[in-house]
A and B are shown apart, each in its own frame.
Chain A
Amino acid sequence: MSMPSMGTPAPVQEFVDLSSRFPGIVAPDSRAGFTGWIVAAERLVEVATVLRDELGFDLLSCVTGVDYLPENRMEVVYHLNRTTGGPGLNFKVQVARADPIEVPSLIGVWPGADLQEREAWDLLGIRFAGHPDLRRILMWEGFEGHPLRKDWKEAFYEEDGKPFKSRWPEGQLQMAEDRNPLQDNLSFPPGFDPEKWIPEGDALLYGSLARYTIKDEQGLSTDSIVVNMGPQHPSTHGVFRAAIKLNGETIVALKPVIGYLHRNHEKIGERNTFLLNMPYTDRLDYFNSMANNLGYAITVEKLMGIPVAERAEYIRVIMAELTRIQNHLVFIGNLLNDLGAMYTPALYAFEERELILDIFEAVSGARMMCNYLRFGGVVRDVPPDVMEKIRGLVHDRLPGKTDEMERLLTENEIFLSRTKGVPMIDGETAVQYSITGPVLRAAGVPYDIRRADPYSIYDRFEFDVAVRPHGDLFDNYIIRIDEIRQSLRILEQALKGIPEGPVNSQKPQYQVRVPAGEAYGRIESPKGELAYYVVSNGKPNPWRYHVRAPSFVNISALEKICLGKKIADFVALFGVLDVVMGELDR
C-alpha cells in the first residue's frame, strides 16, 4: 500500500470520465443539483471493481438508499473515497419501485458494505443479491414493513412535516402516553400474535453462526459454544450484543446484534425542517455533539451555497478540536476501565473533560447537547472570559495533563503486557472494511479528512496526521495521545488567528430555503468519518437525510478483528473501536 509522506497536500483530482469508459452503462447524473454517475444495476459489480482497482477509489465511504416515491423509483447511492486523499466520487443505481427491489451486493468488492447494505435492506427494503447474511439489523425481526420508505406510516402517524397540527386536538392538551399507549403503538402483520411468537431472529442469528464449523487436525468436527456478550454487559458501553462462537477460548465467529437504542433518527429528520435537525444531531454521538453539529452544518451549507462567517469558522474549529481532546481522553479512561484498571485513569481523564465541558456550557448553554452551530455560523459569540479560559486550558493545562497521562500509562508494564502485540487489524484490511478514524491511522494508513479533503478552514493550519505502524492495541491507545497533541497545535494556531467580526453570515431565520439537490458532507469526527447525505426537493423538510455514522461502519469489521483472538481480548478490541450507541443505533 502506498503511503504519502505526512503533510503533503492532497493530489489534484483528475476528472474521471466513466461514461466514455462504460458507454451505455454509466451515465452522468444530470438532475439539477446532483452530481456523480448512474450505473446500470446489472454491471454494478464490474464498474465498482474498476473504480477500486484502476481508479484508486479504495475506500467505500457510504452506502444508502433513497426512496423517490413520486418517480416510482428506488435509488442506492454509493460514496467512494481515495485513502490517498482528494475529493470523493459517488455513483447511483436506480431500480423500479416494485417488489422485490433488487440490486447486486458489493460485499465482494468492499467487505465493509456488509452492515450498510443490511441497513438499507432493513429500513428501505432494498434486496442486495449475493449478500450472504441479509437480515434485519436495526429493527426487530417481527417488524412489518420498511420504515424509511415514504409510504410507510407508523401506527400513530401524524403528518409528513412539522409543525404537527394534530398534537393538541380540539383545544385539549393530550399527553404523549395517552396518544401512544405502549401496547397499542405497534402494528403487526395480519394474523400475528406477539404472545405466541417465537423469535425467529435468534434462530436466524445462530443459524448464521452455524455456518462456521470447527475441525481439529484429524478433520473431526468438534463442538463449540455460543456466548452472548451483552446486551447488558459492562464492557459494551451501552446496549450492544455480540453473539460469539467459541472453540475453547478462541473466537471462531462473531455477529454483532444492534438496534436496542434505535429510534429512527433519519425518519425523524425527514419530518423536521432543516434547522430542527440540529439539536437531534447532538444526540447521535453524545460525546461529540459539536462535531456532529459541524458535519450537519457544512452539509446543509453546501446545499444552500452560503458562506460561513470568518470568526465562526475559527470558533467551529476550536470547538471541534476541544471535542476531539475530550473524546480521546474519555476513550483512554474507558479503555483502561475495560482492561481492568478501574477508575483511576478514567477519573483523571474526566477532570480535563469537565473543564472542557464547562467551556461548552458557557458558550452554548449545555454541556453535552450543545446545539451550537447554525447554517452560516454559530449561535452566539464566545464571551471574552470564556476565550481566556480556553487559552488557559490550551496553553497551560492540557499539554501538561497529556504528558501526565502518558507518564501514567505509556511505560506501565502491566498496561503494555495487555496491549502491546495484540493485533487489531492491518491497514489493507481496514481500508477494505471501510474503517476510518484513529483505528485506521493506527494501522499505518495516514488518512485524515482534515488533510485528505479539507473542510471548514483546516487547510490553514499546520498539523501532522498522526499515524502509527503496527495496528495493535497499544498503537490504538498511543495514537489518541498523538492526536490530542496535534489538536492542541491546531488550537494554538486557531486561538492566535481568530479574527473579530460577526459570527453568522446569515440573518437569524428559523425557516431556511434550501434549493433542490443533494449534498454529501463529511468531517473527521473523533471516531472516524462522520458524513451526512442530504437530499432536498426544495421543500422545508429534507427529502432524504442519512447519517454515515463512524461507529456503525467501523463495527462491520468487528468479526474480522476478533477472529482467532481470545474471548478475554474481545472487551479490549471492542473498546478500542470507540463506539457510541447513540450513533451506532441511531
Chain B
Amino acid sequence: MYGKGAIKSLLVTATRFWNTYWDDFVWLLRRIRRGDRRYYSQEGIRHRSSKDTRGIFTIQYPEEKLITPEEFRFLPFLIYDEAEDGKREIRCTSCGICAKVCPPQCIWIVRSNDPKTGRPIPEPTAFFIDGDICMNCGFCSEYCPFDAIKMDHEIDIASYNRNVFDMEALLKPASYYAGIRPANFAREEEARRQKEAAKAAKAAASVS
C-alpha cells in the first residue's frame, strides 16, 4: 500500500510525543512516592543524559546545567597551597615546560631572582595566559611535573575585553582544585605522600 511507509514514520514521531507526556506521568508517581523530580534536579538531569532517557531530552539551560565530568577541561589555572600562617605557597617553579608544550604559545612566564644573591629562585614573578589564544588542549596540566597548573571547569568568562589573565587572576587554592577534580586530587596527593615517605625513609637510612 502506498503511504504505509509514511504512516510508519509518523508512528515513530507519535511514539516520541506520547513518551514525553507518559514519562511526565511516571515521574509524577515517582515524585509522590520518593520525591524525585524530573525538572530542575540532579537526578532528573542525570536521567535525561542516561541511556534510559525517552521523550523530552533537552536541558533547560541556564536554569539547569549538564553535570560537568571531572576530566572536563577549559582554560588553565595555577594552584597554590595554603600554609598554616595563611601564606600562599605557589606550586609553580617557573620551569617553563607548560610554555614550551603550549601549541598556540599563549603562556608567558617571568622567572625571578633573589634580590640579595641574584640567583634564580623557583617562583615566577609574572605568569600570563592569553585566554583568547588558548586552545584548551590541556597539555600544560598534563606535562607539568609539579601539578602546579590544572585545567578549570569555569566556562562563564565572557567579557568585553581580551581575556589576558595575570598571576592574580590565575591563582586558585588547592582546595578549589580538590573540589572540581576530587579523584585526580586524591591520586596526586597519594603519589606525593608516597614519594615523601620514600624520601624520609631514605634519609633515615642514611642517618643511621
Q: Residue of B at shortest CB range from A162?
A: B105
Query: For this complex, into which size category does the number of interface residues on chain B fall?
Result: 35 or more
Q: Report yes or no: B8 in contact with A173, Cβ–Cβ below 8 A.
A: no
Q: Report yes or no: B97 in contact with A510, Cβ–Cβ below 8 A.
A: yes
Q: Report yes or no: A416 in contact with B72, Cβ–Cβ below 8 A.
A: no
Q: Residue of B at shortest CB range from A388?
A: B51
Q: Residue of A at shortest CB range from B144?
A: A510
- Write out the residue numbers on chain B whose beta carbons fall within 8 Å of the beta carbon of A365: 69, 71-73, 138, 151
- 8 A Cβ contacts from A380-417 to B: 380, 383, 389, 392-393, 396-397, 404, 407-416
A171 CA / B125 CA spacing, docked (Å): 12
Q: Report yes or no: A404 in contact with B12, Cβ–Cβ below 8 A.
A: yes
Is A51 an interface residue, CB under 8 A from the partner? Answer: no
Report the stretch among B27-35, B79-87, B127-135, B167-175 that lies at the interface.
B127-135
Q: Name the one of B5, B102, B133, B183 contacting A411, with C-beta atoms under 8 angstroms.
A: B5
A478 CA / B70 CA spacing, docked (Å): 38
A539 CA / B175 CA spacing, docked (Å): 41
> Given contacts A163-B105, A510-B97, are A176 and B133 in contact (CB under 8 A)?
yes
- 8 A Cβ contacts from B25-58 to A: 49-53, 57
Q: Report yes or no: A411 in contact with B143, Cβ–Cβ below 8 A.
A: no
- Write out the residue numbers on chain A whose beta carbons fall within 8 Å of the beta carbon of B50: 389, 392
Q: Name the one of A344, A358, A404 contacting B49, with C-beta atoms under 8 angstroms.
A: A358
Q: Residue of A at shortest CB range from B143?
A: A510
> Given contacts A163-B100, A171-B110, A173-B108, are A407 and B9 in contact (CB under 8 A)?
yes
Is B202 an interface residue, CB under 8 A from the partner? Answer: no
Is A551 an interface residue, CB under 8 A from the partner? Answer: no
A412 CA / B8 CA spacing, docked (Å): 8
Q: Number of residues in A with C-beta < 8 Å to the partner?
A: 51
> How many residue pairs at the A-B interface have CB separations less than 8 Å?
113
Q: Residue of A at shortest CB range from B183?
A: A383
Q: Report yes or no: A413 in contact with B3, Cβ–Cβ below 8 A.
A: yes
- Write out the residue numbers on chain B whose beta carbons fall within 8 Å of the beta carbon of A355: 49, 51
Q: Name the one of A351, A362, A396, A411 contacting B71, with C-beta atoms under 8 angstroms.
A: A362
Q: How far is the CB of B180 from chain A (nearest CB, A)?
A: 12
Q: Report yes or no: B5 in contact with A416, Cβ–Cβ below 8 A.
A: yes
- 8 A Cβ contacts from B87-111 to A: 97, 99-103, 105, 108, 110
A379 CA / B73 CA spacing, docked (Å): 13
A148 CA / B207 CA spacing, docked (Å): 62
Q: What are 24 residue pairs bridging A and B, where the CB atoms are less than 8 Å apart in the complex?
A: A163-B100, A163-B105, A167-B105, A168-B108, A175-B164, A176-B133, A276-B103, A355-B51, A358-B49, A358-B66, A361-B71, A364-B71, A365-B72, A366-B72, A371-B138, A379-B142, A389-B50, A397-B51, A397-B52, A412-B5, A413-B5, A415-B5, A416-B5, A510-B100
Residues of chain B touching chain A, judged by Cβ–Cβ distance below 8 Å, are 2-6, 8-9, 11-13, 16, 49-53, 57, 66, 69-73, 97, 99-103, 105, 108, 110, 128, 130, 133, 135-139, 142-143, 151, 162, 164, 183
Residues of chain A touching chain B, judged by Cβ–Cβ distance below 8 Å, are 162-164, 167-168, 171, 173, 175-176, 272, 275-280, 344, 348, 351, 354-355, 358, 361-366, 369, 371, 379-380, 383, 389, 392-393, 396-397, 404, 407-416, 508, 510
